Amino acid sequence: MDDALSWLQASRLSDIASLQRLRQTGKLITTVSELVHQLQRERGASNLWICSEGRLYGEQRLASEQDVTRCQRDFCEALPQADAQPGYSRFCNLIAAALQALAGLPALRQQITQQQIAHAQAVAAFNTIIRSLLNLVFEAADTASHPDITRALIALFSFMQGKELAGQERALGAAGFAAGQFSAEQRSGMVALIEAQEQSFLTFQQFADEAVLQHWQPLAQASREIERLRRIACTDGRREDSGALHWFSLLSQRIDQMKLLEDQLSATLMSRCREAIALARHQAAEPLQVAQPGCNFTLYVSGADWLPAESGALNSDGLAPQLGRSLLSLIAEQSQRLQHQASELATLRTTLEERKLLDQAKNWLMQQHGLSEEQAWQRLRKSAMDQNKRLPEIAQAIVTVAATMKKSL
């Protein structure tokens, strides 16, 4: 009986350890949020500087470099120790990839300063760095074992993804307005980015709490002026001499407002972690007591194929001497709680798996056909519309084809 109590207590303490690790990851994600935002600013300033041949946003570009350096230092300080831990391999690998991507910043900045890189290539390089950081947020959501925290992470990741797409739209639009015209590729890219934003923000709305959604409502629709400029960009309409700066200013204001909401989502995440840890500690502190001998109890276990065929239950007489109602009730309560969590997590995992499929399909299209991220997304959307299927179904088909081709090589 004492052994059973020990293992039940170990289960509770394991919950606490898992939640503490999630809280540590949450702190890291908060620094990722700030670093990504500053990288988005540097990307925007660098893009305008290149497009204007060094005439615009020179001071802002240098200031944003300093902000990124500061946030990069905070990110590195928030990293966990590089220790081997069970189930931590993929997250460690993604941290390594993010650090490697960030290590390429000095060389990228030098190319920009010397104007040895085209604006599209510079933007693509920043996109890659930012994507490596967003992967950490997605992985945290994918591996979280607490439903409320997983929900908060999905809301945060989806919102950060939408905000990043808005940043890419800002860069692409600024380049087109600065050039005085949008190429067919740029126009289709703008359409794809706008559609992808809407998809990300829809997912965010599914998982965000009511308080956050109330703050989102004023931002959900772009302003009339942004929509007007979008129509110009997407339809090759009339240009304006001040279009690039005007567009950049409007989009920057909207993205900065999004960052305030992103901070609120980060705060919600940390609050959920603290609440879950406090509850788990309270439960762990409760005494584990068993009833007096002679109080037999039967616990029916659904789907327990490890029990004898003639019995679908655990009986207190057959477990151990004096193992009575209280202990089995505790085990049943713990099992029900874990089963409820597993059910919630399964639902949340579906959303994450669909996101994985979309990313895998998009990456394969980019590698196989030399497409940009916007072009790959647009091809996915077009295939879904042409075949009247959901995006995840199209993505699954592409991933299956990619796997088949890989095996045949």
How many residues in the chain? 409
* 255 within domain boundaries: yes
User: Do residue 114 and residue 253 come from a single domain?
Assistant: yes
User: Do residue 268 and residue 329 come from a single domain?
Assistant: no
Give the model's confidence band at 180: pLDDT under 50 very low, under 70 low, under 90 confident, else very high.
confident
For residue range 207-235, list pLDDT tens digits in order: 899 999 999 999 998 999 999 999 989 88
Is residue 252 within 8 Å of 170, Cβ to Cβ? yes
Cβ partners under 8 Å of residue 274, min gap 6 = 23
Residue 330 has pLDDT above 90, yes or no: no
- Which tokens hold the place of 330? 């505790």
User: Do residue 270 and residue 403 come from a single domain?
Assistant: no
* 299 within domain boundaries: no
Q: Phi, psi (5° rounding) for residue 315? A: -110, 140
Q: Which residue, 212, 243, 278, sits at the end of a domain?
A: 278
User: Do residue 116 and residue 187 come from a single domain?
Assistant: yes
Say which residue, 285 or 160, is predicted with more confidence. 160
> What is the per-residue pLDDT for 354?
78
Q: Which of 346, 358, 392 is nearest to 142 (CA)?
A: 346
Q: Phi, psi (5° rounding) for residue 300? A: -85, 130
Measure the CA–CA gap between 38 and 30, rounded to whole angstroms. Answer: 13
Q: Which residue, 217, 252, 278, sits at the end of a domain?
A: 278
Give me the percent of the chain exceeding a pLDDT of 70: 80
Say which residue, 376 or 161, is predicted with more confidence. 161
User: Do residue 200 and residue 262 come from a single domain?
Assistant: yes
345 class by beta-carbon count within 10 Å (0-12 exposed, 13-18 middle, 19+ buried) = middle
For residue range 225-271, list pLDDT tens digits in order: 999 999 989 886 555 556 889 999 999 999 999 999 999 999 999 99
Q: Phi, psi (5° rounding) for residue 217? A: -50, -45
Q: Which residue, 223, 257, 278, sits at the end of a domain?
A: 278
Mean pLDDT (the chain) is 81
User: Do residue 218 and residue 367 come from a single domain?
Assistant: no
How many separate domains does the chain show? Answer: 2
The angle that helices 373-387 and 184-207 make with each other, rounded to 10 degrees, is 70
Distances from the Cα of 150 to the Cα of 38, 185, 342, 344, angstroms: 25, 37, 12, 10
* 163 within domain boundaries: yes
> What is the per-residue pLDDT for 63?
96
> What is the per-residue pLDDT for 374?
73
* 171 within domain boundaries: yes
User: Do residue 335 and residue 249 come from a single domain?
Assistant: no
SS3 313: strand
User: Do residue 28 and residue 143 come from a single domain?
Assistant: yes
User: Do residue 336 and residue 271 come from a single domain?
Assistant: no
* 289 within domain boundaries: no
- Which tokens hold the place of 298? 């039967």
Say which residue, 63 or 373, is predicted with more confidence. 63
301 class by beta-carbon count within 10 Å (0-12 exposed, 13-18 middle, 19+ buried) = middle
SS3 2: helix
Question: Which CATH number fits the domain that encloses residue 331?
Answer: 1.10.10.10
Domain extent for 265:
4-278
Terminal alpha carbon distance of the chain: 58
Say which residue, 6 or 48, is predicted with more confidence. 48
